[in-house]
């Protein structure tokens, strides 16, 4: 974690985060640029506070081309009844606001990937400054954190909520209980390719209950996945005891990611042919995708076999692939 001797964050909230009632405002980050010498990045934030109780931090737009979270959270910020709240709900629908406005995974200002920039720096890039503010100012306030993701423009997922396997089994159990409450069609015990610099890791190192999602993808949102996001956010708030009412439980099936064999990566460029649809069963050795060379005719496609038995949980979305692209993720069904 960061040293206590770091300079203060340059971000200034335009609202009082501790005030009772409903507030809508911004996290204002000074950003001098060609078209605005004394300009700022204005990140929308809402705080709904009623009495004492737990605090939930709900975030979307960690990546700017993922839309279920922002849709659900802009809507929640507008509609959440403070009379039904016992505690505090902090809502930031688009964390990486420059990326969200541009519709890109990373920031157009500094190419920063928000979810690889934690814990951030108060004297770093724009993306690092935002990450630092969350690390030192917002996360310490929270008891439970829900961060929405989907596949963006390059991946597509079966809709799932997830938590991570952790060394602290009490904290881990609380995370999976919250995932169960979210009630997505699928629930994942998640393994990351590389957890360094992730928001998830920072939240968990602070001892918070953390839930994330992958709710579709393709750089858009569907009615089904938006409904899952809206229902899931309210379910997590009810589960935490912050919002009154009964949890709207739906059937969920559990997936595991037991090892790196879940992931398949392209070693060639070309045009991808998906051989298995999302949610279908996969057998080890079964061809799950083919990559067709596009430089000339007459060349056989490269076949990509599954490395384990399970279910196709994610796939590459664009029609063309490059070496290193993730083309498929297989999860095991519990």
* pLDDT, tens digit, 9 for 90 and up, residues 204-216: 999 999 999 999 9
The per-residue pLDDT for 171 is 95
Q: What was the pLDDT predicted at 4?
A: 54
Q: Taking Cα atoms as reference points, which of 4, 18, 27, 11 lies closest to residue 48?
A: 18
pLDDT for 251 equals 95
Residue 328: in which H helix or E strand, if any? strand 326-333
Residue 107 is predicted with a pLDDT of 97
Candidate CATH numbers 1.20.58.100, 2.40.50.100, 3.30.530.20, 3.90.700.10; the one for domain 257-333 = 2.40.50.100
pLDDT at 118 over 90: yes
Examine the pLDDT at 295 and tell me if it is beyond 50: yes
Work out the percent of the chain whose per-residue pLDDT is above 70.
Answer: 99
**Which burial class, exposed, middle or buried, applies to 113 when counting CB atoms under 10 A from its CB (0-12, 13-18, 19+)?**
middle
Q: What is the mean pLDDT of the chain?
A: 95
Residue 210 burial (10 A CB sphere; 0-12, 13-18, 19+):
buried
Query: 235-258: per-residue pLDDT in tens?
Result: 999 999 999 999 999 999 999 988
Interval 307-327 mean pLDDT: 97
Q: Residue-wise over 213-251: b if at least 16 C-beta within 10 A, else e? A: bbbbbbbebbeebbebbbbbbbbbbbbbebbeeebeeee
Closest CA to 179 of 232, 242, 246, 251: 232
Q: 97, 91 in Cβ contact below 8 A?
A: no
- The closest of 231, 247, 308 to 76, measured between CA atoms, is 231
* pLDDT at 25 (0 to 100): 98
**pLDDT tens-place string over residues 73-109:** 999 999 999 999 999 999 999 999 999 999 999 999 9
Domain boundaries, the chain: 12-253, 257-333
CATH architecture assigned to 12-253: 3-Layer(aba) Sandwich (3.40)
Look at residue 192 in the predicted model and tell me its pLDDT: 73
- End-to-end CA distance of the chain: give it in Å, rounded: 35
């Amino acid at each position: 974690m960061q040293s206590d001797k770091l300079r203060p964050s340059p971000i200034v909230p335009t609202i009082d985060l501790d005030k009772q009632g409903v507030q809508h405002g911004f996290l204002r980050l000074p950003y001098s640029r060609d078209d605005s010498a004394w300009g700022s990045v204005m990140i929308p934030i809402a705080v709904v506070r009623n009495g004492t109780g737990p605090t939930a931090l709900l975030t979307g737009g960690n990546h700017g081309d993922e839309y279920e979270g922002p849709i659900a959270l802009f809507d929640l910020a507008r509609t959440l009844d403070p009379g039904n709240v016992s505690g505090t709900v902090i809502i930031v629908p688009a964390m990486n606001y420059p990326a969200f406005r541009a519709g890109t995974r990373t920031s157009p200002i500094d190419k920063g990937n928000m979810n690889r920039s934690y814990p951030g720096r108060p004297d770093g890039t724009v993306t690092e400054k935002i990450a630092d503010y969350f690390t030192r100012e917002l996360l310490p306030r929270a008891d439970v954190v829900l961060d929405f993701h989907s596949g963006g423009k390059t991946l597509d997922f079966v809709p799932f909520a997830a938590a991570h396997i952790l060394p602290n089994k009490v904290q881990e159990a609380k995370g999976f209980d919250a995932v169960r409450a979210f009630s997505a069609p699928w629930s994942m015990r998640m393994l990351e390719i590389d957890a360094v610099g992730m928001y998830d890791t920072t939240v968990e190192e602070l001892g918070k209950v953390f839930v994330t999602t992958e709710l579709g993808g393709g750089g858009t949102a569907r009615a089904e996945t938006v409904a899952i996001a809206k229902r899931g956010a309210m379910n997590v708030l009810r589960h935490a005891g912050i919002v009154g009412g009964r949890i709207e439980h739906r059937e969920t099936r559990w997936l595991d990611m037991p090892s790196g064999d879940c992931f398949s990566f392209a070693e060639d460029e070309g045009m991808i042919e998906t051989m298995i649809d999302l949610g279908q069963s996969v057998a080890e050795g079964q061809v799950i995708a083919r990559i067709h060379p596009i430089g000339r005719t007459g060349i056989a496609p490269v076949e990509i076999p599954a490395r384990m038995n399970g279910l196709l949980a994610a796939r590459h979305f664009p029609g063309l692939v490059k070496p290193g692209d993730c083309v498929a993720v297989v999860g095991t069904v519990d």
